[in-house]
Structure 1
């Protein structure tokens, strides 16, 4: 079963096995060489104990061979302690995007590629789903979650953009720039995104598949980096699974991220824009634009 709140202590990556999307009626015994994921796959996702679970055949892939690569294939992550399926690893194709949108509609938590790093996605309007993202991250509620939206119009329905913020959005969206703005009184976004305040950080990503997911889902999606707090952010689906294990319900594999930095963050709630975090956008470009706004 997916990890769910509370208690928080239960939300820790579990020992897990990787299997192809399965025909449960055709298990491979744990004693089989195929059950030793570390020996079968060259890019092992998780440290596993083969004796604690089974690997199943797939109707898509008849079996696994030594050196097989997980990228762009559909797999299940199996909890080694229970043998139960808890996470799906899907390629970022139309079927995978549709499955991810359905998981989000059900209140689930996913990992998805963005135009920067891999992120932890949940329905940004669902308080319970947002709370679960904090637990998956192992993050205190003093650090708000950032949100992705499909377009500027969606952002403006949720927050109040100043003229400076609008200029920045027009110049850098879609792209790796997060703008912090004050939420509208009638915003649909969960208040749990920022329990200590009324501002929200949003951006429109510059990645067609991520935008396709946002449009298929129809609501903003959370997007903090896919890692436990204090750890390095994931730049691929295998790294995300290694970091988060079975804490999430579904992982979309869009290949390795080309960007190694998170989004740049600018706070637009004050009299003038303020650079909060340097990131994927060139510092000189941001500073030049901010100077133009003075």
Structure 2
């Protein structure tokens, strides 16, 4: 059980960001908005601070964290970027794209950040608050999603408070839901420049590859190791059974609709996948808070960002013991 802290929510203005930087410098925890979901930030070079992330989230120690950096230059201080990763970072960062790359031995990151692996997950976030916080810190920030491990990810300050109030010092609130609403795409780039997608997300790797490179993506076969967040079979769980691809609703279902299938709440009445991604976790939070014992979700096309939506829904529907 994490220690008891008087968690405060403050505006993500200049004063709030400066206060957050001071807390982080002293080894504390701050929830901060990004373009994907809210992250739980701590300094990535401190054993004690990173241990507090795992404690506050009840996160298993074998599940690595994403390290957020200001820019490509800071990433190069922490990792040996294979050529393809270096090109991708130059072209696309800041973006909801995490690169799992070989870690530098002298990077100064605490071992718990990478769960003892020789790789590190790096991301340059595309959000003014997170970028301002990184600029105010002379150290990189480890920042997994700001929720209890395995539960629905937070896309608002209120979502963070639901599970982490009393466990962290501060929540920065910019007053808006997170823009993308889904965690970043995670791409492992090996030393031989082969690709392996570890988690689908807002960045469509197939489209990216077709636009910038010839030929198919040369993905390595899955290694079976947990190298990055979001790879556990059961994740993003609302705490009650979830039924997928539902076109009819039962009386005890909280129905999440999409397109022509209406519901108690709707991902997108017009069938827009980007809107559905942005609203997914808000709808799951609403279903979790409802009095109905089950959640049913309408079919979502498995294309574009719909692939990432269905990935999260499958994990939300998988019982925790699997």
Aligned residue number for residue 178 of structure 1 = 98
Distance of 1:131 and 1:194 partners within structure 2: 12
Aligned mate of 2:2, from 11, 20, 24: 11
Matches within 5 A, 1:38-117: 86-117=6-37
Segments ≥4 residues shifted beyond 3 Å: 289-294
Q: Does 1:152 align with 2:152?
A: no
CA contact 1:90–1:251 (8 Å) conserved in 2:
yes
Aligned residue number for residue 256 of structure 1 = 177
Distance of 2:213 and 2:58 partners within structure 1: 37
Distance of 2:211 and 2:48 partners within structure 1: 38
| CA-to-aligned-CA distance 1:167-199 (integer Å, 9 cap, x gap) | 111221110000011111211211111233121
Aligned mate of 1:273, from 188, 192, 195: 195
Distance of 1:89 and 1:214 partners within structure 2: 19
Distance of 1:249 and 1:274 partners within structure 2: 36
Aligned mate of 1:127, from 39, 42, 47: 47
Aligned residue number for residue 292 of structure 2 = none
Distance of 2:57 and 2:195 partners within structure 1: 28
TM-score calculated relative to the size of structure 1: 0.69
Give the drift of 1:149: 0.3
Give the drift of 1:289: 5.6
**Aligned-partner SS, 1:86:** coil
**Aligned-partner SS, 1:125:** coil
**Higher mean C-alpha displacement, 172-181 vs 202-211:** 202-211
Number of residues paired by the alignment?
214
CA contact 1:273–1:290 (8 Å) conserved in 2:
no
TM-score calculated relative to the size of structure 2: 0.63
Aligned mate of 1:288, from 207, 210, 218: 210
Distance of 1:141 and 1:290 partners within structure 2: 37
CA contact 1:150–1:215 (8 Å) conserved in 2:
yes
Q: Which runs of 5+ in 1 are unaligned?
A: 1-9, 15-84
Give the drift of 1:290: 7.7
Q: Does 1:246 align with 2:158?
A: no
Q: Which runs of 5+ in 2 are unaligned?
A: 219-322
**Aligned-partner SS, 2:155:** coil
**Aligned-partner SS, 2:56:** helix
Give the drift of 1:283: 4.2
Distance of 1:287 and 1:227 partners within structure 2: 32
Aligned mate of 1:229, from 149, 156, 167: 149
| CA-to-aligned-CA distance 1:14-39 (integer Å, 9 cap, x gap) | 7xxxxxxxxxxxxxxxxxxxxxxxxx
CA contact 2:35–2:127 (8 Å) conserved in 1:
yes
CA RMSD in angstroms comes to: 1.8
**Aligned-partner SS, 2:134:** helix
**Aligned-partner SS, 2:7:** strand
Distance of 1:268 and 1:157 partners within structure 2: 17
CA contact 1:168–1:289 (8 Å) conserved in 2:
no
- Please identify the structure whose Cα radius of gyration is greater: 1
